[in-house]
Amino acid sequence: MANSMAKSFLQAAATEEVVSPLRVVQIEGLVILKIIKHCKEFSPALVTGQLLGLDVGSVLEVTNCFPFPIREEDEEIEADGANYQLEMMRCLREVNVDNNTVGWYQSTILGSYQTVELIETFMNYQENIRRCVCIIYDPSRSNQGVLALKALKLSDSFMELYRANSFTGEKLREKNLSWMDIFEEIPIKVSNSALISAFMTELESDTPVTQCDYDRLQLSSNPYMERNMEFLIECMDDLSVEQQKFQFYYRSLSRQQAQQQAWLQKRRADNMQRKAAGEDPLPEEDPSNPIFKPIPEPSRLESFLITNQIANYCNQINGVSGQSFNRLYLMKSLHDN
């Protein structure tokens, strides 16, 4: 009896849990308000904070959050930051808040959030938590009347590659991974407790038109578009720098190839002579010769990120243009009437 129990326990421990894929992130209204407030207060500086909640099946529930203080570049502040985090978690635990870290949030300007630091933070979190998510909030789009909130997650295949730290062309081709596969966006659902919704409905009765409608119908979107284009152009410059690195690599690789061939020819010619003279042939390879040293292929990570970024900007431009079209046509028809 005990044996079979022990075995089944072992078996249970040995079988891997089936991890259901993350399908939806469920956020509470409280968290959204807190994120908005924090990012707005400190904009244009970029801020971050921690998300707390529960991981249930295919839904990741985010029930609370707290902001991180802005870190200055100082050694002792590092320990302070960790202390602050522990302190906040402990205090929140005492008032029955779920103090389970499920990710972090950060603010961004015009969607320029794809950096290597983001990926590294993801990897750091991923080591401790099975599923973590990053929420990106863009306060600069809120005066266009849009709530720009996104939940991101690194895709699994990308994570494996990153751990192996190899971004060469063949590996990527093997996995069929392109720049679109780095980040996965997860749909967000918002939930509120009944008490809060009762309060809110009472505090602000349903007016036919709210302030955000006025914002959306505003005709001038030029400054926003201009900034977007500026960012886009900068990114293109970065991308072209990366491309040049690649070109340089290819060129030097082919030059090295040519040198190797030449050397090989010479060796063969020498060998022929030596054979004719009756001596031992020299080996056809010489690893100590510097022209045989393999040149490292530059990592493609940066270019992927930049490409992602550019795609993001393009999407944003598309979205805003769509809105502007709507507005212009609306104006036209109003005027005609």
Partner 1 sequence: MAADDHTVLQLSTPSTANLSAKVHPLVIFNICDCYVRRPDQAERVIGTLLGSVLPDGTVDIRNSYAVPHTESAEQVALDIEYHHNMVVSHQKVNPKEVIVGWYSTGLGVTGGSALIHDFYSREVPNPVHLTVDTGFRNGEGTIKAYVSVNLALGDRQLAAQFQEIPLDLRMVEAERLGFDILKTTAVDKLPNDLEGMEVTMQRLLALIDDVYKYVDDVVEGRVAADNSIGRFISDTVASLPKLSPSVFDKLVNDSLQDQLLLLYLSSITRTQLGLAEKLNTAAQIL
Restricting to residues 221-260, name those near partner 1 by CB under 8 A: 225, 229, 232, 236, 243, 246, 250, 253-254, 257
| Structure token digits, residue 188 | 């967000």
The DSSP symbol for 288 reads T
Burial of 13 (0-12, 13-18, 19+ CB in 10 A): exposed
Q: Which of the stretches 52-60, 86-94, 120-128, 269-277 binds partner 1 when contact is defined by CB under 8 A? A: 86-94
| Residue from 1, 5, 12, 194 in contact with partner 1 (CB under 8 A) | 194
> Which of 126, 263 has the CB closer to partner 1?
263
| Residue from 58, 157, 166, 210 in contact with partner 1 (CB under 8 A) | 210
> Which of 131, 298 has the CB closer to partner 1?
298
300 binds partner 1 (CB under 8 A): yes
Contact 54, 19 (CB under 8 A): no
The DSSP symbol for 58 reads T
Dihedral (Cα; 244, 246, 251, 253), 10-degree rounding: 160
310 binds partner 1 (CB under 8 A): yes
129 binds partner 1 (CB under 8 A): no
Residue type, 298: P
Distance separating alpha carbons of residues 325 and 337, to the nearest angstrom? 19
> Which of 8, 318 has the CB closer to partner 1?
318
Reduce the DSSP state of residue 172 to 3 states and report it.
Answer: helix
Contact 158, 287 (CB under 8 A): no
x/- contact string, 160-179, with partner 1 (CB under 8 A)?
---------x--xx----xx
267 binds partner 1 (CB under 8 A): no
Percent of the chain as helix, strand, coil, to the nearest 5:
60, 15, 25
195 binds partner 1 (CB under 8 A): yes
> Which of 10, 295 has the CB closer to partner 1?
295
2 binds partner 1 (CB under 8 A): no
37 binds partner 1 (CB under 8 A): yes
